[in-house]
Structure 1
Amino acid sequence: MKEKRGIIIGGAIIGLLAVVSVFLGNPKNMGICIACFIRDTAGSLGLHKAEVVQYVRPEIIGMVLGAFIISFFKKEFSSSGGSSPFIRFCLGFMIMIGALMFLGCPTRMVLRLAGGDLNALFGIAGFACGIFIGILFLNKGFSLKRNYKQTKFEGFVFPVINIALFILLVTSSGVLIFSKEGPGSMHAPAYIALAIGLISGVICQRTRLCMVGGIRDLVLFKDSYLISGFLAILVAAFIGNLLFGFVNVGFAEQPIAHTDGLWNFLGMVVAGWGSVLLGGCPMRQLILAGEGNIDSVITILGMLVGAAFAHNFKLASSPEGPTPNGKIAILLCFLALGLIAYFCSKSKSNSKVKGDVKVG
């Protein structure tokens, strides 16, 4: 119970920080969204040309650095990698396609519900369904194989890149592109956003907070530890939204969201299925990358490229709804996920689930 109290308090802090970041300038119901923030960063780096979503988000940088700093000083930092890197890249790519169909990652899905956006219910249902599909393959022996110890230098590279990105951001470098309108132009002050990311990164590293892991562990092991953290985010963010007057209950006219329930559902099936095969949600991948996991870095690069691809080829949804190209992409993702899950499964035994798949 003492251990669970820690993740509940940590989740509540993240939920409140997400609302505070909205108060300070982030888009509504988007205090923290890993998928949206990686997409914005991709735009700022010039990887896509959607002018309304281009900004290097300090929250992402802070989460990586927070996980790096605390894991280093707790002597938990360890460089490792080499576990099916290209498949992980592809899974990260597809998770982003699914998330941008829904317009949010699992974290934003919870924050949208906390703000009264009932479209998030379709996303939650789809996300859980995707995780259940993934669990079926875990029980059949799905594995991306073991990883291998790498040099410490390799583990340091990703945090250093994030530090460099933040320096470019605060110096208003001409290298980066910044939105002049739209969601990309809406953000909390950079240093405060970095601090929010750092705090969130430390909390996630110490508690192993992961929504995919929460649902997976509840189903497989009847363990409610991880899911309690996301329930705490939901409750705390709802209370915070009430205090700031941000709650707007309903389906229509929600910020940066659409009302197509079917494609909200299917998009998050893809995100949930892909995430459980990877062993963690997008937020968890950031934390693992900060701890020195190169496989998670490869996954994040897949998400970055997926975000750029989604906007360059009109796959991402908008408040008007999903695009025809996006619908086709989601169906192709189902096919690709099915092939990956099938060919990487080796038996019906579930005795190695915790050993073969990194528990979030």
Structure 2
Amino acid sequence: MLREKTTLRAVAIGAAVCAGVGAICASLVLLGNPGNMGICGACFLRDIAGAVGFIQTGKGPACFRPEVAGVMLGALGLALLRRNFTARSGSHAVTRFVFGIWMAIAALVFLGCPFRLLQRLGGGDLNAWIALPGFVAGVAAAMLFERNGYHIGATQKSPAPVGILGPLAVVAVGAIYMKGGLLLGPGPNAEPGTPPPHAPWVWALVLAVLGGAALSASGFCVINAVRQLFQRGKKAMLISTVALVAAYAVVLLVAGKLNVSVDGQPIAHSDHVASAL
């Protein structure tokens, strides 16, 4: 929707869909997820790693996040319903893997992936607003590398089982979670106040399925949205980003939970240099 040549109608629909995603994220926060963390790829994968015992320090959060399974299943389900599911993989796998590691490290230093960045912006976290120029500068630098010939290769169509492996793995871990008592951290029947903070698992799963389907339908990507700051004519993704942030802020405002400040922000820090980098 947002990745193709867009008409005014398509832009409006895409913005409305992304606004719905913003409202879903804010709703998950109101239901018990950590502040400004309705859905976060880096943070939630870290929590799942703790739940399955990959983090042995005993200090990190350990919690299976149904939102991860929900987003993946929502996107997969919509693709299957529309009969446009295509598994894809890319060349230079080691390079992509290393880039992924550094992306995760940077996200956890900032305390949020690019998608959580939008939620922090909408939630009034001024630390995120201060760090935003660093994120924009990073995307601009990557575009400069591309213009000078650097490229890791386009993705290519792969056998369908390749695309199913990820969702199946998450579903398998989810089944273990539903069994109860087999993962670290709170189980599916834990009280909402049990640390680490989490929304009731049914709501988390259902809302994440809707969010995953919406994100898949729109083709939304935070990085592509920032790229459009430097591209002529293409602004659909950027407009949808504004809609997502605004909807997130409105839901929190209506609920009386909007907090515009530097200090006292949930799961945030004021080391602005580190955040910007």
Cα deviation 1:280-307 (Å, max 9, x = unaligned)? xxxxxxxxxxxxxxxxxxxxxxxxxxxx
RMSD (CA atoms): 1.9
Residue in 1 aligned with 2:253?
242
In the alignment, which of 30, 41, 44 is matched to residue 37 of structure 2? Answer: 30
1:12 lines up with 2:19 in the alignment: yes
For residues 190-269 of structure 1, the aligned pairs below 5 Å read 190-266=201-277
Q: Measure, in 1, the Cα distance between the counterparts of 2:141 and 2:92.
A: 20
Tell me whether 1:140 sits opposite 2:148 in the alignment: yes
Partner of 1:323: none
2:149 partner amino acid? G
Consecutive unaligned residues of structure 2, counting only runs of 5 or more, are 1-7
2:169 to 146, 157, 161: 161
Contact 1:81 1:148 in 2 (8 A): yes
Aligned to 1:83: 91
Q: How does 1:250-289 map to 2 (within 5 A)?
A: 250-266=261-277
1:151 to 159, 168, 178: 159
Q: Identity of paired residues, percent?
A: 32
1:233 is matched by which residue type in structure 2?
L
Deviations 1:202-236 (A, max 9, x none): 11111111110011133134311111221111111
> Do 1:52 and 1:183's aligned partners in 2 also have CA atoms closer than 8 Å?
no
Count residues with an aligned counterpart.
Answer: 265
Distance 1:50 1:13, change over 3 A: farther
Tell me, in whole angstroms, the C-alpha distance in 2 between the residues paired with 1:126 and 1:11: 24
2: distance between equivalents of 1:53 and 1:235? 29
- 1:321-357 Cα distance to aligned partner (Å, 9 max, x none): xxxxxxxxxxxxxxxxxxxxxxxxxxxxxxxxxxxxx
- For 1:142, what is the secondary structure of its paired residue? coil
**Alpha-carbon spacing, 1:183–1:247, altered in 2? closer, same or farther (3 Å):** farther
Displacement of 1:125:
1.1
Of 122, 125, 138, 2:130 maps to: 122
More helix by share: 1
- TM-score norm. by structure 1 comes to 0.70
Is the Cα contact below 8 Å between 2:28 and 2:204 reproduced in 1?
yes
Show the counterpart of 1:187: 198
How far apart in 1 are the matches of 2:178 and 2:157? 35
Q: What displacement does 1:50 show?
A: 4.5
- Partners of 1:19 and 1:82 in 2: CA distance: 34
Runs of 4+ in 1 over 4 A off after TM superposition: 179-184
Distance 1:4 1:183 in 2: 41
The equivalent residue for 2:3 is none
Q: Secondary structure at the match of 1:81?
A: strand
- C-alpha offsets along residues 156-209 of structure 1, whole Å, 9 cap, x if unaligned? 2211112112212222141x2116999952111112111111111111111111
Instruction: Return closer, same or farther for 1:157/1:118 CA change in 2, 3 Å cut-off.
Output: same
Q: For structure 1, which segment, 31-40 or 78-87, has the greater mean C-alpha deviation from structure 2 after superposition?
A: 78-87
SS of residue paired to 1:185 = coil
Bigger drift between 178-187 and 111-120 goes to: 178-187
Deviations 1:245-264 (A, max 9, x none): 11122111111111111111
TM-score (norm 2): 0.90
Compared with structure 1, are the counterparts of its residues 247 and 165 closer, same or farther at alpha carbon in structure 2 (3 Å cutoff)?
same
Specify the alignment match of 2:67 in structure 1.
59
Matching residue of 1:42: 49
Tell me the distance in 2 between the aligned counterparts of 1:79 and 1:40. 27
Q: Is the 8 A contact 1:79 1:152 kept in 2?
A: yes
Query: Who is 2:4 aligned against?
Result: none
Q: 2:105 — aligned with what?
A: 97
**Distance (whole Å) between structure 1 residues aligned to residue 236 and residue 71 of structure 2:** 21
CA distance in 2, matches of 1:142, 1:228: 28
Q: Distance in 1 between matches of 2:196 and 2:12?
A: 37
CA gap 1:224/1:82 in 2 versus in 1, 3 angstroms: closer
Q: Give the conservation status (yes or no) of the 8 Å contact 1:35–1:105.
A: yes
Give the match's secondary structure for 1:237: helix
Structure 1 pair 108–50 and aligned structure 2 pair: CA distance change class (3 A) = farther
Equivalent residues of 1:210, 1:227 under 8 A apart: no
For residues 64-85 of structure 1, what are the alpha-carbon distances to aligned partners after superposition, in whole Å with 9 as ceiling and x for unaligned? 1111111122122112324111
Could you tell which deviates more after superposition, 74-83 or 238-247? 74-83
